[in-house]
Amino acid sequence: MTARLMNGKAVARTVRDEVAADVSTLVASGRPAPGLATVLVGDDPASEVYVRNKRRQCVEAGMADLHRHLPADITQSALKSVLDELATDPAVSGILLQLPVPKHLDTAALLARIPASKDVDGLTVANAGLLARGRVGLVPCTPGGVMRLLDEYDVALSGADAVVVGRSELVGRPMAQLLLQRDATVTQCHSRTKDLVAVCRRADVIVVAAGVPGIIGGDAVMPGATVIDVGIHRTPDGLIGDVRFDEVKSVAGLLTPVPGGVGPMTIAMLLANTVAAARALDERSVGA
Ligand SMILES: Nc1nc2c(c(=O)[nH]1)N[C@@H](CN(C=O)c1ccc(C(=O)N[C@@H](CCC(=O)O)C(=O)O)cc1)CN2
């Protein structure tokens, strides 16, 4: 068997077109264009690329780009003040603090300054709590993008055995919650899992977000399963994922490539969350 590749670039394009149409409708009805505040601290080259792409795609979708680039040695309290200012700025619909931040900063305390209504990354405790209760909130972008990809490729989730490899707040934990909401039987694996290969081999759907290059090979995949690779690692030979692509391609039924799979969905879903946040803020101010 050779897996069919899931084209994240194409699906992300569709999502971005939907966002641009939604923005046009908002603006045509007299509302201000949604505004996305990206906050980048320091000069990490990968983060700079991601934020540049977020800003470009935000403008292409007709939204306002409200970027802040701050020095790597900024203090916790100065950064908190910037986030507090963005939190009360009516032009800002969504706030994104690019991660990771420099080591001297306390990420959790910084995220806590972002109001849940503007948390377009879905990383605040409030939005994580809503997700855990199966209630509507802003969903983290990468797991949200994985769900959209699974739906675009008609992957059946109700009653399916799904394995999530990884338990990060950014991907693994929200991913498991989203699959559970869709009635999958979810197993979450992590660094202490006793027999990762055996657990994965039972799965209809595997989402790998371990941050370990090539951790999942062909031996861990049931023939015909859907395999989603969230990993991105830069090597001298180019980008690779958490999945050993050539091996898994000859076993799986559907597989995301790296690059061009999950990555582009992350930014597309950020834009979708920003429009959703702008709409919700607008409805609240009308209702007030
Ligand atoms: N605040 C956040 N920080 C980080 C997040 C996040 O969702 N919110 N995710 C990652 C990085 N990330 C977005 O910020 C991101 C990663 C990868 C891609 C992407 O399009 N990847 C391409 C390859 C691009 C390349 O050459 O590197 C692909 O896979 O095709 C977009 C966004 C950590 N930080």
Give the DSSP letter string of 180-237. HHTT-EEEEE-TT-S-HHHHHHT-SEEEE--SSTT-B-GGGS-TT-EEEE---EEETT
* Same-domain status, 99 and 153: no
* Same-domain status, 169 and 225: yes
Q: Report the interhelical angle of 125-132 vs 172-181 (nearest 10°).
A: 30
Span 205-219, average pLDDT: 98
Catalytically active residues are 54, 98, 121
How far does the centroid of ligand 1 lie from the alpha carbon of residue 230, in Å? 10
Q: Is 95 annotated as a binding residue?
A: no
How far does the centroid of ligand 1 lie from the alpha carbon of residue 143, in Å? 12
* Same-domain status, 166 and 244: yes
Residue 277 has pLDDT above 90, yes or no: yes
- Most ligand 1 atoms within 8 A of CB, residue of 175, 232, 234, 245 to mutate: 232
Six token digits for residue 36: 């996305």
280 lies in some domain: no
The pLDDT assigned to 285 comes to 74
The pLDDT assigned to 286 comes to 62
Residue 36 Cβ contacting ligand 1 at under 6 Å: no
The answer to whether 107 and 99 have CB atoms below 8 angstroms apart is yes
The answer to whether 86 and 37 have CB atoms below 8 angstroms apart is yes
Query: Computed from CA positions of residues 36, 40, 46, 48, in that sequence, does the dihedral angle turn out positive or negative?
Result: positive
Q: Is 167 annotated as a binding residue?
A: yes
Q: What is the CATH number of the domain that holds 174?
A: 3.40.50.720
Number of domains the chain is built from: 2
* Same-domain status, 111 and 181: no
9 Cα nearest atom in ligand 1: 30
ipTM over 0.90: yes
CB contact burial 113-146 (16+ within 10 A = b; e otherwise): bbbbbbbbbbbbebbbebbeeeeebbbbbbbbbb
* Same-domain status, 89 and 184: no
How does the average pLDDT of the chain come out, rounded?
97
Write the Ramachandran bin of 104: left for phi over 0, alpha for psi from -120 to 50, otherwise beta. alpha
279 lies in some domain: no
How far does the centroid of ligand 1 lie from the alpha carbon of residue 263, in Å? 6
Tens digits of per-residue pLDDT, 221-256? 999 999 999 999 999 999 999 999 999 999 999 999
Q: Whose C-alpha lies nearest to ligand 1, atom 22? A: 263
| Residue where a domain stops, chosen among 115, 149, 167 | 115
Q: What is the C-alpha to C-alpha distance for residues 244 and 237, in angstroms, rounded to an integer?
A: 14
Regarding pTM above 0.95, the answer is: yes
* Same-domain status, 185 and 238: yes
Residue 96 Cβ contacting ligand 1 at under 6 Å: yes
Residue 142 Cβ contacting ligand 1 at under 6 Å: yes
Q: What is the CATH number of the domain that holds 93?
A: 3.40.50.10860
49 lies in some domain: yes
* Same-domain status, 92 and 165: no
Q: Which domain holds residue 148?
A: 141-261
Tens digits of per-residue pLDDT, 56-88? 999 999 999 999 999 999 999 999 999 999 999
123 lies in some domain: no
